[in-house]
Structure 1
């Protein structure tokens, strides 16, 4: 049969691959890389996919500095409910997009889904940029949300499926780094607002550029070999493997895919299969990690740090928020170097511990009168430490871990369900954060976020498995 490989070749390559992964797991990653030289190059395609992650971060952060100015322009300065809807309409759309992305990725493939994603992304930012009423702005934000919801589901999925096992954690972490760079870009883009109140319109419309680049780049990118294999397109899967890893690793990767054939040979899973006894536990881990991530307060910080710093008496509140964005990028860069060394589970625990301590500091800053003279400095310090802690684990790990632990036949749908949980909880926080702060006070809200961090540590310790140094197929077989 065309594209077939011999059993002897597959077995030999798989054994060699296991040996290399063992070396990598012991920290000898460079030796493992040297022994298998590759004529392929996965990095450009990871970079193209991460344009979707960049847009994810940009559209989350763009409203931070722009909210005050667009509220004046659209006449909703005194209406915190409508301001909340401007923030949260993006998240409502993203909830729809995350489920749509999973369906499309299964039906037409990962790369074609990326290309279709440019439609809501471009339409949404265009409407937001020209909006003369709050209704048009909300519609634009919903459409943009659909776009980033789709990309949030398929960026980590695509990266996990095209990445070599020995550096999958590192490349998966680039997804979170790209989100952080997008948030930082949005915060920096807000700096001219003080001198040009209408600059907020430009802040939205310039996002057209990376949207178009994403679609064009994906038109020339290889499809996921795992998706092609599942569709029975074996010859195309081998061509994709050659482009990504080099012809030297075709037998090895095909051997891994064949090893998972028992599950792959089953029919494509339906939505109800996610709640069967076979998959319920692993799917619940995906939903729980994103719930903890959101209710630990990260997006309340992303959306409203400028307002919080203003409350604390910081004069250059937008600049302080930009500093938070820089901390996010730095922490994510450090996480890239740690992901394949320290492992996913330990980074999650360390991250939530740091976030909880930072939230306690922030709570005391806004409640303890003795700290009032230092409230500005402590607010910035606590927020920076919180974001640094988040970017080390709670930020990058869920999107990286979940494609690793979900079986191939449920991977896209389970990712969509998990991301749907992410966006729904994100929507609730974005919509009600200001109202809850007005009712209970910032200190109490931050204390609540800190309590969620403690619960997250307990949950991760008892329910999350370590996946470092194991192929997707090995993880799938082990969990099955």
Structure 2
């Protein structure tokens, strides 16, 4: 329960001095007044020190770590069928059926699109904490259905449920981490989402290692995922609700209690003042889809959607899909290839975490997209007639690892952090839902069309197209993205949102 803070000691002291002065002569009264004013000034300055300093990051860290479990699950379920797919198809009777095998993968992406599409309305309707629990529920149900599936239909239904939770989790995680983090570590905490996703992917690969030696091990791979999902659902009971969502609902005292849990009691007043800087008189009104596509909010929604579109059109998922083939042609086993990709991904994410609150989001985005363009140039050289033999293979492998590393430095983690920062509080959840839906649609079509484009256009032209997109992203970021490092969400909103 929130206990209202006591007024500063100096106010009580002033009252007691006034009573005392009524019993003294004028000279003593003036003397005491002078001493009292000096004392009050010193006490007032002392009481303001905690307000001017940053709150302890240790208070909000546990809440952020619990939220990133959803990102771990996201990464895990993206990679859980990679190694076991052959065993799954053999056990369920669709081995050699390319369409059925593709459906096992793509059904999950379809569910993710549905989950992300409705994530904003769910997060605004029931709150961020319950949205996490609703994210964990279909993941548990879907994982159990997949683990116990006897037919292809049972597996597909299970994957659809899992995908729904996968689509709901990332936008809610981005919202929650942005809204509960102190501004001076918000970038670092936002990087945890990308790191957790990388760890989930690597975890899926590690758990899947025995799948070829142990019959039915693929079922264990699905059962394992129910453990972190259950932890997420239970741990969220003890986490703070987003103060921004509580304030939006008119639950001011609960917002103060949440701020005390996240920032400490001495920072509650400052946090509430910042929360009230932006006019919230219309925040309880329903947000229509039309508001997101034209009018005051069009610019920020356009920036967000375009960033996610450029992220996916850069070719990152195509590189992931094609990496095993490239490494295999270079004589590198698939397991070792996946390890190299995973190390490059998590190394870039860790560096991004260290730099996010030092150099800023915009700088990381610019250099990340530029580095990806250079990596694609290396791939084009590797695919050209001027490069042949072992040199071509080394260039191809090196370019691929460079692409993944530079992606993880900025283009991977920054959009999911930056967009909740630049979206006004009133539309934040629903705008994230729209942008994540754009992400999933383009992700689906890139995965669907990549191999056909590679066959029809050839690697040189296709990689040149990806590199061109990366350079377009550099120009777009330079012209449209604002730096949000160290700024409160309210300061960012005031700077970006045109006044009516």
TM-score for the superposition, normalised by structure 1: 0.88
1:210-253 alpha-carbon deviations (Å, 9 max, x no partner): 11111011111110001001111111111111111110110010
CA distance in 1, matches of 2:442, 2:459: 19
> Is residue 352 of structure 2 the alignment partner of residue 335 of structure 1?
yes
5 Å-filtered alignment, 1:133-212, equals: 133-196=151-214, 198-212=216-230
Contact 2:326 2:397 in 1 (8 A): no
CA distance in 2, matches of 1:181, 1:320: 16
Q: Which residue of structure 2 lines up, in the alignment, with residue 320 of structure 1?
A: 337
Instruction: Extract unaligned runs of 5+ from structure 2.
Output: 9-44
Secondary structure of 2:235 counterpart: helix
1:181 to 1:468, Cα distance in 2 relative to 1, 3 A: same
The worse-fitting range, judged by mean Cα deviation, of 246-255 and 316-325 is 316-325
Secondary structure of 1:469 counterpart: coil
Contact 2:57 2:185 in 1 (8 A): no
Q: Which residue of structure 2 lines up, in the alignment, with residue 380 of structure 1?
A: 397
Query: Please, which of 238, 241, 248 is the counterpart of residue 259 of structure 2?
Result: 241
1:20-46 alpha-carbon deviations (Å, 9 max, x no partner): 9xxxxxxxxxxx999345497000110
CA distance in 2, matches of 1:477, 1:269: 19
1:263 to 1:79, Cα distance in 2 relative to 1, 3 A: farther
> Is residue 228 of structure 2 the alignment partner of residue 228 of structure 1?
no
Contact 1:63 1:303 in 2 (8 A): no
* Higher RCO (C-alpha under 8 Å, 6+ residues apart): 1
1:443 to 1:213, Cα distance in 2 relative to 1, 3 A: farther
5 Å-filtered alignment, 1:341-352, equals: 341-352=358-369
Secondary structure of 1:124 counterpart: helix
TM-score for the superposition, normalised by structure 2: 0.85
Contact 1:128 1:136 in 2 (8 A): yes
The worse-fitting range, judged by mean Cα deviation, of 79-88 and 327-336 is 79-88
CA distance in 2, matches of 1:216, 1:90: 24
Secondary structure of 1:261 counterpart: coil
Larger Rg: 2
1:370 to 1:37, Cα distance in 2 relative to 1, 3 A: closer
1:103-158 alpha-carbon deviations (Å, 9 max, x no partner): 11101100011112222101222222333433332222221110011101100100
1:37 to 1:101, Cα distance in 2 relative to 1, 3 A: closer
Query: Please, which of 128, 139, 145 is the counterpart of residue 110 of structure 1?
Result: 128
Contact 1:131 1:137 in 2 (8 A): yes
Contact 1:175 1:396 in 2 (8 A): yes
Contact 2:134 2:165 in 1 (8 A): no
CA distance in 1, matches of 2:6, 2:406: 48
Report the alpha carbon displacement of residue 349 of structure 1 after superposing the two structures with TM: 1.1
Contact 1:173 1:336 in 2 (8 A): yes
> Is residue 422 of structure 2 the alignment partner of residue 405 of structure 1?
yes
CA distance in 1, matches of 2:386, 2:5: 72
CA distance in 1, matches of 2:7, 2:313: 49
CA distance in 2, matches of 1:40, 1:246: 10
Contact 2:70 2:136 in 1 (8 A): no
Secondary structure of 1:314 counterpart: coil
1:90 to 1:367, Cα distance in 2 relative to 1, 3 A: farther
Quote the RMSD (CA, aligned, Å): 2.8
1:69-121 alpha-carbon deviations (Å, 9 max, x no partner): 43444455544443332222111111110122211110110001111222210
Q: Which residue of structure 2 lines up, in the alignment, with residue 100 of structure 1?
A: 118
The worse-fitting range, judged by mean Cα deviation, of 299-308 and 457-466 is 299-308
CA distance in 1, matches of 2:394, 2:76: 26
1:169-220 alpha-carbon deviations (Å, 9 max, x no partner): 1111111111111112222333334434643332233111111111011111
1:33 to 1:94, Cα distance in 2 relative to 1, 3 A: farther
Q: Which residue of structure 1 lines up, in the alignment, with residue 315 of structure 2?
A: 297
Query: Please, which of 34, 50, 54 is the counterpart of residue 72 of structure 2?
Result: 54
Contact 1:84 1:431 in 2 (8 A): no
1:263 to 1:469, Cα distance in 2 relative to 1, 3 A: farther
Secondary structure of 2:287 counterpart: coil
5 Å-filtered alignment, 1:448-467, equals: 448-467=465-484
Report the alpha carbon displacement of residue 290 of structure 1 after superposing the two structures with TM: 0.6
The worse-fitting range, judged by mean Cα deviation, of 100-109 and 409-418 is 100-109
1:58 to 1:444, Cα distance in 2 relative to 1, 3 A: farther
The worse-fitting range, judged by mean Cα deviation, of 352-361 and 142-151 is 352-361
Query: Please, which of 136, 148, 155 is the counterpart of residue 130 of structure 1?
Result: 148
The worse-fitting range, judged by mean Cα deviation, of 389-398 and 271-280 is 271-280
